């Protein structure tokens, strides 16, 4: 006889245990809607949270909603801040979060911040407030110095991960690393590749030697090649290595030493760094190439044939970041050798060059799309593209989930037909049904947005620049694309009509960025008035906005949904359209 | 200085010349040709590239291009979308590399034109000689202190700071790369004299 005990009559501990198997935020959110008791149980047992926009709620709200967090991830500035489009001082300050969390989450273990302004005081507060602090990952952050790192190093006795990804750090001293206690052996991941200055080599060697679980070590440029053998010999269990400078003045034994050291790292599968590469030293990594699944050569000035030779030995490569020095020929070699390739990023070696310095065209990308069946993520900078090539890519790779194409010159048409690239991108969204992220470039009319609105059903993030004819384009996207979360637009002739016709949509998205478009201040005011749960920020460095007429075209506009209302840390060049002002 | 450049450019604009308005042969950039399909655009000032792109108008310190060529494309803020972190890393390195190369001319007897190589790229004599062998499709053979390159068809020589022609390999590598002004690959028969002690 089946025993049917209703789920809701289980004791709290049992429910909690069951809930612990449900990890996805989406599912936990659903759980919390079932009943008040389920809401409470989820609330107290939720240990990790991801906040996509630091201004979507206040730190106090977070503490109230989830009082038992152990892992917090927060994102600050909008993506276009990466390209200097967000003025200095706009926001994304970590300090208020640090203060509230220091009080409210004594058991916090992990902090992951992206595009936030973090100061030394906050780092020190973090280092002293959380006894069990283990993981600090700062991506594209700024505002702190090596003093803050020293505080983390000395006070976080259980530090497992210290990961600085492309941060701007004020490098004041090399001693911060030495502050890591001699008794600390828990480090699993250390990444200081973005630091400009030297670190104490002795401290580094001792640290690497005693942390037997160290899996990731990413050095900065100041660590010379001759230090690598010693480090590798102390950490043969290393999985991920970021080299320092990969060149050295004349030193006869170094080559043999390096060769042997690399050969000893049987678990090494991820390589990065490679600043200032002397090609003659490259063969020292050949022995590990067959095991390498991730290779970041995007800071390396190596050219073909050395570049091709290196990559074609990595037959198990899954992720490749490289400069356009690889050229079409190199990408053909990749297509032939790297059958497991999942992600390709090709960056421009000379983004502002007048003449194209390398032979990299759409053909390289087409080769890879043909030869690599698992390719699903692409970031590609080039100078020419054709609709035909995009059709081919779309047909070859319907499994694409991220497709970011940057044709360097704005408004560049199909170089074969001189037509806009609408049809090509249309093919991409039509065939690649799981496409989550798309970046457009080249000559594009409103047509491409019609395609996107109609076919890009799973699209979550769209980046647009120098495209479209008018409001219809924006309207097509905002009225379609059910899953759109982030939309960022620059230099497009989109104006008030499309925006005001789709106000409800904006609350279903995380954020909308529009700069150098045709939106008027009046429309922003209307929008702000209609939608109290949106922050409508007008960013304009040209002067005070309160005296401006309604038909004034705003320079930059950032709209995001929020529960916290207008923010308090707003700089003078930002105007939040507030109900009270209207 | 910028004011003077602007003044001079204004003078140029009123000059009576044959040619399209805005075209000026003395300018390095080819922005005068009204080629719509051209991908060319004037290089911004070095300072502009490394993150001081706070305005969208180009501030080209090479002198008033804005005034003479209204069709000139300006460097756009934040485009192409390469992260400043990445741009700065690479730009700094490029500048370093460009200024610290040690390029010397290499001639070979009988070859119609000269080549140029960067001595900094090589680790030592072995690599240099291999590279020269590859470049000119010759064999040079092994160096010995006593015999020089005796026995081989070619002998690599170099002109040092004092203007003397020396045999490649006699001095330590570091000394060699700092004193070498140019290289010459001599026919073996001619080089024999150099291999013997005075």
Shortest Cα–Cα distance, B100 to chain A (Å): 12
Which tens digit of pLDDT belongs to each residue from A204-248?
A: 999 999 999 999 999 999 998 889 999 999 999 999 999 988 877
Within 8 A by CB and 6+ apart from B53, the residues are A84, B75, B77, B78
DSSP alpha helix (H) spans, chain B: 2-14, 46-49, 65-68, 84-100, 125-136, 173-179, 188-191
Sheet holding B182-187, edge to edge: B115-118, B103-108, B182-187, B154-159, B165-167
CA distance A359 to A324: 8
Domain ranges of chain A: 8-46, 49-84+91-168, 174-292
**Structure-token pair, residue A17:** 């245990």
Within 8 A by CB and 6+ apart from A273, the residues are A193, A218, A219, A241, A242, A243, A244, A246, A296, A299
Q: Are A567 and A535 in contact (CB under 8 A)?
A: yes
Whether the bond between B80 and the residue before it is cis, its omega within 30 degrees of 0, is yes
**Which pTM value belongs to this model?**
0.78
Backbone φ, ψ for residue B194 (5° rounding): -75, -25
Torsion sign over Cα A55, A61, A66, A70: positive
Residue B63 has pLDDT above 70, yes or no: no
**Whose structure tokens read 């070095």?**
B46
Which tens digit of pLDDT belongs to each residue from A166-216?
A: 999 999 988 999 999 999 999 999 999 999 888 999 999 999 999 999 999
**Whose structure tokens read 């009319």?**
A445
Cβ-based contacts of A463 with chain B (< 8 Å): 81
Closest residue in A to B53 (Cα–Cα): A84
Q: Are A513 and A77 in contact (CB under 8 A)?
A: no
Give the H/E segment covering residue A461: strand A461-465
Residue A119 has pLDDT above 60, yes or no: yes
Closest residue in B to A408 (Cα–Cα): B80
Assign 3-class secondary structure to A238-284. Answer: CCEEECCECCCCCCHHHHHHHHHHHHCCCCCCEEECCECCCHHHHHH
Cβ-based contacts of A275 with chain B (< 8 Å): 89, 93
The strand pair at B182-187 and B154-159 is best described as antiparallel
Average pLDDT over residues A32-58: 94
Residue A564 has pLDDT above 60, yes or no: yes
State which fold the A8-46 domain adopts. Answer: Monooxygenase (1.20.1280)
Q: Mutual orientation of helices A422-431 and A446-455 as an angle, nearest 10°?
A: 10
CA distance A309 to A363: 20
Check CB contact of A250 with chain B, cutoff 8 Å.
yes
* Percent above pLDDT 70 for chain B: 51
pLDDT band for position B18 (cuts 50, 70, 90):
low
**Structure-token pair, residue A97:** 């979060």
Average pLDDT over residues A385-409: 98
Cβ-based contacts of A439 with chain B (< 8 Å): 81
Average pLDDT over residues A69-94: 96
Check CB contact of B75 with chain A, cutoff 8 Å.
yes
CA distance A492 to A557: 13
State which fold the B103-192 domain adopts. Answer: Ubiquitin-like (UB roll) (3.10.20)
Q: What is the mean pLDDT of chain A?
A: 93
Shortest Cα–Cα distance, A193 to chain B (Å): 11
């Amino acid at each position: 006889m089946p025993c049917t005990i209703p789920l809701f009559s289980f004791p709290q501990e049992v429910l909690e245990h069951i809930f612990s198997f449900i990890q996805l935020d989406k599912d936990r959110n659903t759980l919390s809607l079932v009943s008040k008791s389920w809401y409470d149980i989820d609330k107290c047992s939720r240990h990790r949270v991801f906040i996509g926009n630091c201004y979507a709620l206040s730190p106090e709200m977070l503490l109230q909603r989830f009082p038992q967090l152990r892992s917090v991830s927060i994102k600050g500035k909008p993506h276009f801040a990466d390209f200097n489009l967000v003025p200095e001082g706009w926001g994304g300050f970590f300090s208020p979060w640090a203060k509230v969390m220091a009080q409210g989450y004594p058991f916090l273990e992990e902090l992951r911040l992206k595009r936030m302004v973090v100061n030394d005081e906050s780092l020190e507060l973090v280092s002293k407030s959380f006894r069990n602090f283990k993981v600090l990952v700062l991506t594209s952050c700024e505002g702190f110095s090596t003093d803050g790192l020293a505080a983390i190093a000395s006070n976080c006795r259980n530090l497992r991960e210290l990961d600085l990804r492309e941060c701007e750090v004020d490098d004041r001293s090399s001693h911060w690393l030495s502050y890591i206690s001699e008794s600390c052996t828990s480090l699993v991941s250390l990444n200081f590749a973005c630091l400009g200055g030297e670190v104490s080599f002795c401290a580094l060697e001792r640290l690497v030697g005693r942390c037997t679980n160290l899996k990731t070590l990413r050095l900065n440029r100041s660590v010379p090649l001759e230090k690598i053998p010693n480090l590798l010999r102390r950490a043969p269990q290393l999985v991920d290595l970021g080299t320092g400078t990969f060149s050295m003045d004349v030193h006869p034994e170094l080559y043999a030493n390096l060769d042997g050291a690399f050969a000893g790292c049987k678990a090494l599968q991820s390589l990065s760094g490679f600043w200032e590469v002397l090609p003659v030293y490259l063969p020292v990594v050949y022995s590990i190439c067959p095991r390498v699944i991730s290779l970041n050569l995007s800071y390396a000035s190596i050219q073909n044939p050395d570049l091709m030779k290196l990559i074609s030995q990595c037959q198990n490569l899954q992720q490749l970041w490289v400069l356009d020095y690889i050229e079409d020929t190199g990408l053909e070699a990749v297509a032939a050798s790297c059958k497991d390739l999942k992600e390709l990023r090709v960056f421009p070696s000379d983004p502002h060059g007048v003449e194209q310095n390398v032979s990299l065209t759409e053909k390289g990308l087409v080769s890879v799309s043909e030869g690599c069946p698992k390719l699903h993520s692409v970031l590609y900078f080039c100078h020419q593209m054709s609709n035909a090539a995009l059709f081919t890519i779309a047909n070859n790779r319907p499994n694409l989930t991220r497709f970011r194409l940057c044709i360097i010159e704005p408004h560049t048409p199909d170089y074969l037909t001189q037509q806009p690239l609408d049809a090509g991108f249309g093919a991409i969204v039509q065939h690649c049904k799981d496409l989550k992220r798309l970046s457009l470039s080249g000559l594009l009319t409103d047509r491409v947005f019609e395609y996107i609105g109609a076919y890009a059903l799973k699209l979550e993030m769209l980046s647009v620049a120098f495209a479209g004819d008018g409001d219809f384009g924006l309207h097509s996207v905002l009225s379609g694309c059910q899953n759109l979360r982030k939309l960022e637009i620059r230099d497009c002739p989109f104006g008030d009509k499309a925006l005001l016709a789709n106000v409800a949509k904006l609350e279903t998205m995380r954020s909308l960025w529009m700069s150098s478009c045709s939106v008027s201040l009046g429309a922003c005011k209307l929008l702000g008035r209609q939608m109290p749960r949106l922050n409508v920020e007008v960013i304009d460095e040209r002067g005070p906005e309160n005296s401006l007429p309604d038909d004034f075209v705003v320079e930059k506009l950032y709209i995001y949904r929020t529960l916290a209302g207008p923010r308090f840390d707003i700089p003078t060049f930002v105007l939040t359209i507030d109900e009270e002002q209207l | 200085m910028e004011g003077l450049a602007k003044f001079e450019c204004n003078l140029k604009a009123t000059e009576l010349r044959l040619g399209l308005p805005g075209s000026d042969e003395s300018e390095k950039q080819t922005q005068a040709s009204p080629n719509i399909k051209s991908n060319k655009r004037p290089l911004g000032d070095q300072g502009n590239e490394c993150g001081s792109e706070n305005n969208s108008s180009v501030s080209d310190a090479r002198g008033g291009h804005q005034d003479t060529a209204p069709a000139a494309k300006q460097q756009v803020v934040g485009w192409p979308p390469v992260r400043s972190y990445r741009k700065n890393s690479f730009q700094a390195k490029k500048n370093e590399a460009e200024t610290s190369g040690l390029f010397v001319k290499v001639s070979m007897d009988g070859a119609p034109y000269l080549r140029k190589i960067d001595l900094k790229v090589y680790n030592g004599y072995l690599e240099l000689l291999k590279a020269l062998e590859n470049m000119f499709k010759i064999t040079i053979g092994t160096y010995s202190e006593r015999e020089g390159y005796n026995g081989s068809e070619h002998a690599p020589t170099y002109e040092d700071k004092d203007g003397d022609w020396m045999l490649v390999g006699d001095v330590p590598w570091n000394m060699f790369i700092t004193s070498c002004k140019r290289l010459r690959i001599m026919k073996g028969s001619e080089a024999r004299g150099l291999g013997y002690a005075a």
